[in-house]
Amino acid sequence: MSDVQPACAQKSPYKMEVEAGQSYWWCACGKSGSQPFCDGSHKGSGFHPVEFKAEEAATISFCGRKQTGNHPRCDGTHRSL
Ligand code: FES
């Protein structure tokens, strides 16, 4: 991770349906135009996407504030910022 803070994509999580066996790449930098997932916009920022492998079909709350301590999932940190 970089010392630079990530951009805030949105101040609440993105609830997304995931499919069993699929990999999803969560945007850590906050600059993707395809939130909450990486679109390559992090290049040169020092941030890198984080892989989420779905073991089962589910609805996942992906962090939008990019300050979660449990990336890529929301841990509620956005409520205190
Ligand atoms: Fe944000 Fe890739 S665009 S990590």
Using CB distances shorter than 6 Å, the residues near ligand 1 are: 27-29, 31-32, 38-42, 47, 49
Q: How far apart are CA 40 and CA 77, in angstroms?
A: 25
pTM of the model: 0.93
The answer on pLDDT for 73 being more than 80 is yes
Encode 27-36: b = buried (16+ Cβ within 10 Å), e = exposed. Answer: bbbbbbeebb
pLDDT per position as a tens digit, 32-64: 999 999 999 999 999 999 999 999 999 999 999
Top mutation candidate among 24, 26, 42 for ligand 1, by most atoms within 8 Å of CB:
42
pLDDT of residue 1: 47
- R_g of the chain, CA atoms, integer Å: 12
